[in-house]
Structure 1
Amino acid sequence: MNKLFKSFFIGLFLMITSLTGQAQTDSTLLKEINSLKETVNDYRHRFDVLEKQIDDLMWFRRLEDIAHIDKVRLTSTPRWKPKDPDDRFAANKLQFYTYVFIPKEIDINKKYPLIVLPHSGIHANFSTYYAHIVRELIVQGYVVVSAEYRGSTGYGKATYENIDYGGRENDDVLESRNYMIENYSFVDASRVGVIGWSHGGMIALMQILQHGDKYQCAFAGVPVSDLENRLASHDESYSAYFTATHHVGETIDENPEEYARRSPTHYAKNLNKPLLIYTNTNDNDVYVEEVELMIETLKKHGKKFEYKIFQDASGGHGFDRIDSKEATDIRYNVHKFLERYLTPPKPFKSAAEMRVAAYGF
């Protein structure tokens, strides 16, 4: 009997030891998996940096015939909230890059209009996706500036996690505008426009609504306009951009005021400059209902502005940024809107002339 009990306890001990060892192995494996995930995530930012550097070469290649191109480093406001409360450098201004495009035929003794062109995307950057549009602007005699505002990709993890959607990213864009006026004598401070699509359209709205004294006009294409509407119509993956610990860190239900602060509809009553808004009924990203809410809010405040709701235009969200004839004809009308308020030295006389400027033929 003693031998039987002894064998039982020995077996029990070996089983417990085995299970404990297995638990330890599982725990170690879990730690290794989490470490690998973090490494992969860090490498993603490294790959983004490489992709950005390659695309920068393409910027010079694709516009070198008509523009002087530069990329400068500026500072803007600090993070809206410190990542670490004990960080003694939390009040330091953030650094960011800005693209500068100046027509080669410029006469430095004259004055030229400036276009501020923030890129689209929650986490994206000013890529050569916009090359044809920038060419259209340069040939007319516009100087162009585009900030790689906080949260942009291609500049590492820290810049990515500095995202401030609807917040101080707008400070970065405004600072790019101010830099051009302060440093280039041929830029006319009385002829500055801001244009953008999607998230860039949202920033264009924020610029004209929050800093109307700094701009003469704005164009907002398919603009993100109201976060309450947008979060209600998109899945949880979109909300995750905001609830991330490096960003807002709270849901819209937990802090609705913070989300309202980041929405252009919240500032509609401030409009005092010419504004053109475009939206598309088959937009599969910024749904037409969200832009219509912006339009109706402006009307509610008795604001004068222009808008057009396109019916199922080809291209969905990118309907007027692609390279089809339909898209470029629509862009031509955007240029004519800007022309009324910014008087570029060489405005287009036809959509065909615009296509030659952008595409060569």
Structure 2
Amino acid sequence: MAGLLFLLLASALNAQENIKDEIMEGVDGHFYNLRHRLDVLEKKIDDVLWFKRVGDVAHIDKVFLAGAPPAHADRATTLAGVNPVKFWSYVFIPKGMDPSNKYPLIVLPHGGVHGDFNTYYTHIIRELMAQQYIVVAPEYRGSTGYGRLTYELIDYGGLENADVNISREYMIENYSMVDENRVGIVGWSHGGMIALMNIFEHPGEYACAFAGVPVSDLVARMGYKRPAYEDFFSAGYHIGAMVHENIDEYRRRSPVYHADKLATPLLIHTNTNDEDVHVLEVQNLINALKAEDKKFEYRVFEDIPGGHSFDRMDHAEGRKIRYGIYKFLEQYLDPPVRFRNLGEMERAAYRFN
């Protein structure tokens, strides 16, 4: 009898644990979905801020584009799973331009794993508008601020690169003032990686590229980042495997393994105190390009304040470094307005010098 009572008690306790697990799973799912709803709200607020912060110098728009089907379309059981991925791209056009003329285009992919293009780039956009560059900034698959579905479509180092190039194609096909022969691509961090992959995959489509602190080697990166970082990549809706389980897939997505494809003028920046993309990771890319006897420019900065964000910062050193980036770009893109000195750039961005 005692044995029977013990079994009944154990069964009841086990059932309670199962119910508890189900409740916690439901709570976790609720908060996961809520987080995405809050991200959508934050994105809508930031979109309003764009008009406040650069509306005096730019015509601002967002266009809705279609890319390739999801990376895992072969697993899909519905039309939504095989249809082209839909995504937004920001468009900034300088005020005062003559639409009968031709203007250079800057493709500006944002950084971050699940990042987004936001008013963090305000001063950079103001600086580009002053030079009369047209800018397209793609919110490629996996970007934050568009809900859970877009977030989980992430394809880091994969089809996101195609989304960015589709944005370039869209601008050329739909804006008659864009000069298809004067297109540059500029990005930092993950955006720098996308810039590299685009010039490797489409060498004839871009006149030049700037890659700031670019993610360069996912294999090495997984070795020095925290486990939570690798979780972004091993998620079932993404690569679905850790680096040691599918090293070839991680290599395929890493610029360092495509160095032989460089055929576009390129400038690379890195910083020795970068806390996100370690200087050694970028140095590996630089060494790989040198081993392929490629012509390119690079600078390894020493302990510039800001670490990973050093040349996007608003301090004096950051401004001077950005001025140098624009001097590199203008060699190949011939913008209608060139900064004659640092003071002109500062007045464009901050209205002072």
For Structure 1 versus Structure 2, the TM-score category normalised by the shorter chain is over 0.9
Q: CA RMSD in A?
A: 1.2
- Residue 223 of structure 1 corresponds to which residue in structure 2? 214
Contact 1:210–1:267, Cα closer than 8 Å, also in 2: no
Aligned to 2:257, the other structure's residue is in SS state helix
What is the Cα deviation at residue 128 of structure 1? 0.3
What is the Cα deviation at residue 299 of structure 1? 0.5
CA deviation vs aligned residue, 1:253-292 (integer Å, no higher than 9, x gap):
2211111110111211111111000000010000000000
After superposition, where does 1:164-313 map in structure 2 within 5 Å? Answer: 164-313=155-304
TM-score between the two structures when normalised by the length of structure 2? 0.97
Q: Which runs of 5+ in 1 are unaligned?
A: 1-8
What is the Cα deviation at residue 12 of structure 1? 4.9
| 2:41 pairs with 1:50 | yes
What is the Cα deviation at residue 86 of structure 1? 2.9
| 2:32 pairs with 1:19 | no
Aligned to 1:232, the other structure's residue is in SS state helix
Contact 1:83–1:246, Cα closer than 8 Å, also in 2: no
Contact 1:140–1:347, Cα closer than 8 Å, also in 2: yes
- Using the aligned pairs only, state the percent identity: 52
- Residue 103 of structure 1 corresponds to which residue in structure 2? 94
Relative to structure 1, the CA distance from residue 43 to residue 89 in structure 2 (aligned partners, 3 Å threshold; closer, same or farther) is closer
Dislocated runs of 4+, deviation >6 Å:
none
What is the Cα deviation at residue 338 of structure 1? 0.5
Aligned to 1:203, the other structure's residue is in SS state helix
| 2:135 pairs with 1:144 | yes
Contact 2:103–2:132, Cα closer than 8 Å, also in 1: yes
TM-score between the two structures when normalised by the length of structure 1? 0.95
Q: Which amino acid aligns with 2:93?
A: I
Separation in 1 of the partners of 2:198 and 2:75? 29
Match for residue 125 of structure 2 among 134, 140, 144: 134
What is the Cα deviation at residue 174 of structure 1? 0.3
Separation in 2 of the partners of 1:132 and 1:89? 38
Separation in 2 of the partners of 1:224 and 1:51? 26
Separation in 2 of the partners of 1:237 and 1:212? 34
What is the Cα deviation at residue 91 of structure 1? 2.9
Aligned length: 352
Contact 1:194–1:217, Cα closer than 8 Å, also in 2: yes
- Residue 331 of structure 2 corresponds to which residue in structure 1? 340
- Residue 64 of structure 2 corresponds to which residue in structure 1? 73
Q: Which runs of 5+ in 2 are unaligned?
A: none
Aligned to 1:35, the other structure's residue is in SS state helix
Contact 2:76–2:82, Cα closer than 8 Å, also in 1: no
Q: Which amino acid aligns with 1:319?
A: F
Contact 2:184–2:208, Cα closer than 8 Å, also in 1: yes
Moved more, 266-275 or 216-225: 266-275
- Residue 26 of structure 2 corresponds to which residue in structure 1? 35
Match for residue 354 of structure 1 among 336, 345, 352: 345
Q: Which amino acid aligns with 1:68?
A: H
